Amino acid sequence: MHYSIISAFLLIQVTFGQLSNFDDWHHQRIQLEDVSIHFRYFGSGPPVLLVHGFPQDSLTWHTIGPIIAQKHTVIAPDIRGCGDSSLSRTGNYTAQAAGADLKAILDFLSINQTYVFAHDKGVGLAASLAIEHPDLVTRIILADYPLPGYGYSTNVTSPDLYQNWQLAFFAVPDAAEFFISGREREMLSWYFFHGSYSGTQAVTLDHLNRYTVQISKPGFLRSGMMYFAAAWDDEKYFTAAFDNGNRLHMPLLALGGEASFAPVALLNSSWSGVSDNFVAELIPKAGHWIGDENPAWSGNRALRFFADGEQIPDVDLSYLSDRVTLWP
């Protein structure tokens, strides 16, 4: 009895003892031409860029981030128009425009090789980074999102609980904003349930409230919708990049939650048009909210994937702590 309590305690220590608290991570803000980008960072070792989607912000990495930060310098931006970054002055929320912000963050940090882990809309941004700067992205994990042109726009209208009619609704920002304004929390609550494996408990009330605060700021609901309205521009962009037979060559791990992206053959057919170097796997006991529903599997799978193959140089961001960097 004592033995099993002690060994359970040791297991918890080994698994979770070293984990940082995401809310204690460092903050950084950088000014780009079109937006001000906020990101959180923590850890030491080779860099990993984490790219969130909608309706979330960098908080989506609150569990997976600390697991990866045990071995890596982790950088988790709020993408333009989300979280604590600003709205885009030009209103451009295409994967290419928002993906260019990722390059700007890496340039600011003098990082010329990184691992990337992206989720949802962030997958489009990360894919754009990999298309435009293939030497920069050494290994990439793309989770629970088919690129426009490769499975996104053809599967949006089924009424099934786990299907995705909201992708079409959000793509009409005037209507979506009109119907959702003042009901952001209700929309999020429905969305988290709708995309989940485990149901209404998938995302905590505290985090539901924090996401609500973010998308209820003036303009931020609309900027989220603009990512969906950009799907057709994104489709043109991605098909121009890949329909000519070009592919991404860096190792790609394509993930999908078992409740949101099964069967694995769907993942496979989605990514075979994009990459000639991928493996596809389902995340057990997760829907779309992989950081809330199965962070241990997802974080540890990412650690194994990044440890495999070519290793990249460490970065040390401690120099940022006491510096004014927003103003030249």
Ligand X SMILES: *[C@@H]1O[C@H](CO)[C@@H](O)[C@H](O)[C@H]1NC(C)=O
What residues line the site for ligand X (CB under 6 A)?
A: 90, 92, 94, 96-97, 112-113, 135, 154-155, 265-266, 268, 272
Please tell me the distance from the alpha carbon of residue 315 to that of residue 177, in angstroms, as a whole number.
41
Name the residue nearer to ligand X (CB basis): 47 or 65: 47
As measured in angstroms, the least distance from the Cβ of 273 to ligand X is 8
Q: Which residues pair with 51 in a beta bridge?
A: 118
CB 86 → ligand X: shortest distance, Å? 16
CB of 251 to ligand X, least distance (A): 14
Phi-psi region of 272 (alpha: psi -120 to 50; beta: other; left: phi over 0): alpha
Q: With respect to ligand X, which residue has the nearer C-beta, 155 or 204? A: 155
Angle of helix 205-216 relative to helix 184-194, nearest 10 degrees? Answer: 130
Of 154 and 181, CB closest to ligand X = 154
**CB-nearer residue toward ligand X: 154 or 204:** 154
Instruction: Report the C-alpha gap between 289 and 77 in whole angstroms.
Output: 18
SS3 at position 38: strand
Q: How far is the CB of 135 from ligand X (least distance, A)?
A: 5
Question: Minimum distance between the CB of residue 5 and ligand X, rounded to whole angstroms?
Answer: 43
- In the complex, what is the shortest distance from the CB of residue 280 to ligand X, in angstroms, rounded to a whole number? 7
Rounded distance between C-alpha atoms, residue 209 and residue 251, angstroms: 37
State the Rg of the chain over Cα: 19
Nearest-approach distance from CB 166 to ligand X, in angstroms: 15
Q: How many residues does the chain have?
A: 328
The nearest distance, CB 151 to ligand X, in angstroms, is 7
Q: For ligand X, give the closer residue by CB, 208 or 266.
A: 266
235's CB contacts (< 8 A; 6+ apart) are 148, 149, 152, 153
Residue 36, Cα to own-chain centre: how many angstroms?
19
User: Contacts by 268-276 with C-beta closer than 8 Å and gap 24+?
Assistant: 269/151, 270/146, 270/147, 270/150, 270/151, 271/142, 271/150, 273/150, 273/242, 273/243, 274/127, 274/147, 274/150, 274/238, 274/242, 274/247, 274/248, 275/247, 275/248, 275/249, 276/247, 276/248, 276/249
Question: 135 or 322, CB closer to ligand X?
Answer: 135
